[in-house]
Structure formats: C-alpha cells, structure tokens
A and B are shown apart, each in its own frame.
Chain A
C-alpha cells in the first residue's frame, strides 16, 4: 500500500502565485487533514474533512482552500501565496480523528 502520498515534496513560489498541494490515500480513510509545521509552533491544523463533500476549518485556515470530491483525494489550494505561508505542510488520514493518523512525507514550500 502506498499509504498517504503528498506531491510535490519541495516547491518554491513567488508571492501572488497560486498552487495546489496534492494528497491522496489508498486506505479508504474518511478523515483527512492538512497541517503546517513551523519552528517552535508544532503542527497546526489548516483544514480537515470527515468524508467526501464535507470540509471544515482548523486553527489556521486563512489563505487556504480545500475540497473533498472523493474519499481518496484532499487537495490544498493556495490562491495567492504569501511569504507567511512558507512552511512544511503535512497531509494525514485515518478512519476517525480519534484513530492514529497516517502522515504523508510532507511538502517543503518556500514563498519568495
């Protein structure tokens, strides 16, 4: 099993550009989520989804959009990148939020 697959692993953007971070899982998990990790801040929840067609905001949702059209995929969109969004991004999935999360390998995103 591939588990949770995140692409790309690294990306450099210019301020104002848009991009989509991809996340796919093959474990039929209902719960999927996106986190950003910044030094000294731990992992902060951006958005999450409890199933196809259902999404909700986390702790730091501003500047990010998500959608969940299928159980497998949960893309994260940056509509107009800002330097404050420079971070490492993790996607995770599980059957429920109370179950152990399976994490992707992360995406290191730099915005100049």
Chain B
C-alpha cells in the first residue's frame, strides 16, 4: 500500500527560529511529485511547496525549503525565521498514479505552534 507518514503529530518553535517537519512515503514509482500543504485555523488548504522527484535540487519558496532524499523516501519541510502566521496544520501529500488510479494521498498532519 502506498502511504504517507508524518511522525510528529505536534511541533512547537520559538518565533524567529527554525523548525523541520518530517514526512516519509512509500512508493515504487520513479517519477512523481510531493507536496506540503498548510491549513491555518481558517480551515483553508494552502500549497506551501512542491518537489519534483526527478529534480535533485531541493525546492525553496522564501522561508520554506525541503530536504528531499529520494532513496530514503523522505521529504521534510524546513521553516526558517518562523513567524506567528506559520502556526497551522501542515500536511505532506503524494499523488499516487499507479494501476490506473490518480489519488492524492495525505499524511495525518503535524500541528505547528509558534511561540512568541
């Protein structure tokens, strides 16, 4: 079964510091995408960053970056200079396209608290 695992149900960070959220996944595909989504208390789902597996370079979007280790099937999200507005649920997601299906599989999420 294709799965996405986020092993940290909750994390906390001090404002202005750096935090890393972990995500591992299981796939037999060689070319795929990986996503991190943010869900603030407003309930909106917001794309944070996307990584293409065939690219060796880690994706970066301003203060957000990933550490993508394809062989280890690991896709962690690093948030630098944390801000109060970063407090949210963060979900890792993987699009499963094997066997004729096209399903986006989410991890169970990590709740990030940012302390002032």
List residues of chain A with CB under 8 Å of any chain B CB: 31, 33, 35, 40-45, 48, 50, 56, 58-59, 88, 90, 92, 96-98, 100-101, 103, 105-106
Interfacial chain B residues near A41, Cβ < 8 Å = 108
Nearest Cβ in chain A — how far from B100, in angstroms?
Answer: 8
Given pairs A43-B45, A92-B104, A98-B95, 18 additional interface contacts (CB within 8 A): A31-B102, A35-B106, A40-B9, A44-B106, A45-B103, A48-B102, A59-B105, A88-B43, A92-B45, A97-B95, A97-B97, A98-B97, A100-B47, A101-B35, A101-B37, A101-B104, A103-B45, A106-B43
* Chain B interface residue count, Cβ-Cβ cutoff 8 angstroms: 24
* Distance A80 CA – B50 CA, assembled complex (angstroms): 38
Contact B91 A42 (CB under 8 A): yes
- Counting CB contacts under 8 A, is B40 at the interface? no
Contact of B103 among A59, A96, A103 (CB under 8 A): A59
Q: How many A-B residue pairs have CB under 8 A?
A: 55
What are 29 of the A-B contact pairs (CB < 8 Å)?
Answer: A31-B102, A35-B106, A40-B108, A42-B91, A42-B108, A42-B109, A43-B45, A43-B91, A45-B104, A48-B102, A58-B103, A59-B105, A96-B102, A97-B96, A97-B102, A97-B103, A97-B104, A98-B32, A98-B97, A100-B35, A100-B47, A100-B50, A101-B35, A101-B37, A101-B47, A101-B104, A103-B44, A105-B43, A105-B44
